Amino acid sequence: MGICVIIYSLNVFCSRILKNGDDVESDKLEKGIGDLMVGIIQKREKLTTGEGNSYGSDFLGLLLNARKDAPGNYKLSLKDIIDECKTFYGAGQGTTSILLSWTVLLLAIHTDWQDKAREEVLRIFGQQNPTSEGIARLRTMNMIFSETLRLYPPADVLTRKVQRKVRLGKLILPANMNVNIPLLALHHDPKIWGKDAHLFNPERFSEGVPKATSNNPAAYIPFGLGPRNCVGMNFATNEAKIALTMILQHYKFTLSPNYIHSPIHMVLVRPQHGVRLFKSSDDIEAKKIEQEIYDTLMAIIKKNEGDDKRSRQLWKRFPWITNKSKPRC
């Protein structure tokens, strides 16, 4: 026992003063990220006068304005600002892009839902850019995102540290214990979701979370729960809705046979080999334009049918029309 303690202590001691290849690489990366951020912050500080809210209204601008206005002890340090930027980038960027990846995968398989979502998008926005008023009306898309977050929550485990001894149901939890809450298990439990718990069925969210969870909303927590839940929830949902709206306005897609289904936990649950898609038809807008050009040309040709010389010229310029093949624009 004594020897074990000595070996363990020696190991801890050595690992503090000696670094292996991974430690060195990780220090290098951390310094690189820190330097990059200092560069961005300094550039922003140089660009502005520092008066009023002149550092800008984006996230970095708000932090710099807050630092300027705060009294002495409450001032954010440069390190605080760098840490905040890292947190928001880390918590906000990967999560939302992974949500979009899983959603596009599911819509590529369930093309009936892809069509429903596109119908809704075209009804609300046509080919115009999404507006905040319209985003609030995307009911079908909301159901699709809810179901995707149920099946593939990017963060699959929540952790809480027990501050003092508490009773949790039949269990007594001692202080300082870490409790892991497995989102995936909750989100896939047939007792809560029914027999089709493992299937993609956005319809289950048609009447909201309480109905979908049989009045047990704490069983659905892709953004966490309680006072420390995700602060970026609304931002992420709006961002994802804008992106998916614009994707659906321009593309139809199906799954490539080369796609390999392999969800992997690397900080977040992500598709290990990405999501490979086929554009099942070309850009919808381009198709519309193609059709318009085709119709116009056909009309011109019809009008000139009696005029042999002009007709010949037209046939020469647009040979694909004579073949009755599809136009290639």
Tell me how far apart the alpha carbons of residues 234 and 244 are, in angstroms, rounded to a whole number. 15
What is the rounded distance in angstroms from the CA atom of residue 234 to the CA atom of residue 93? 14
Which residue of 41, 81, 117, 155 would you call a contact of ligand HEM, by CB under 6 A? 155
* Alpha carbons 25 and 265: distance in angstroms, whole number: 22
- CB count in 10 Å sphere of residue 120: 20
C-beta of 252 vs 271, nearer to ligand HEM: 271
How many angstroms from the chain centroid is the CA of residue 31?
27
User: Based on CB atoms, which residue is closest to ligand HEM, 86 or 287?
Assistant: 86
- Near ligand HEM by CB under 6 A: residue from 138, 236, 244, 275: 236
Contact pick of 37, 41, 64, 96 for ligand HEM (by CB under 6 A) = 96
Tell me which of 55, 125, 223, 253 binds ligand HEM, using CB under 6 A. 223
Nearer to ligand HEM, 228 or 302 (CB): 228
Nearest one of 271, 266, 241 to 256, comparing CA atoms: 271
Given 82, 99, 104, 144, the residue binding ligand HEM (CB under 6 A)? 99
* Residues between 244 and 303 that touch ligand HEM (CB under 6 A): none
Q: What share of the chain is helix, strand, coil (3-state, %, to 5)?
A: 60, 10, 30
Tell me the binding residues: 230
Q: Say whether residue 231 binds ligand HEM (CB under 6 A).
A: yes
Under the criterion CB under 6 A, does residue 230 sit at the interface with ligand HEM? yes
End-to-end CA distance of the chain: 79
User: For binding to ligand HEM (CB under 6 A), which residues are involved?
Assistant: 87-88, 91-92, 95-96, 99, 154-155, 158, 222-226, 228-232, 235-236
